[in-house]
Amino acid sequence: TYGALAGVIVFLVWLWITNVALLLGAELNAERERTTELREGVPGAAREIQRQPRSEPKEKKTT
Please write the tens of the pLDDT for every residue from 10-55. 999 999 999 999 999 999 998 898 888 888 888 887 787 777 777 8
Distance in angstroms between the alpha carbons of the first and the last residue of the chain: 56
The per-residue pLDDT for 5 is 92
Question: What average pLDDT does this structure show over 51-62?
Answer: 79
Segments making up each domain of the chain, as ranges: 1-42
Question: 3-state DSSP call for residue 41?
Answer: coil
Taking only Cα atoms into account, the Rg of the chain, rounded to an integer number of angstroms, comes to 20
Instruction: Give the whole-angstrom CA distance, residue 15 versus residue 13.
Output: 5
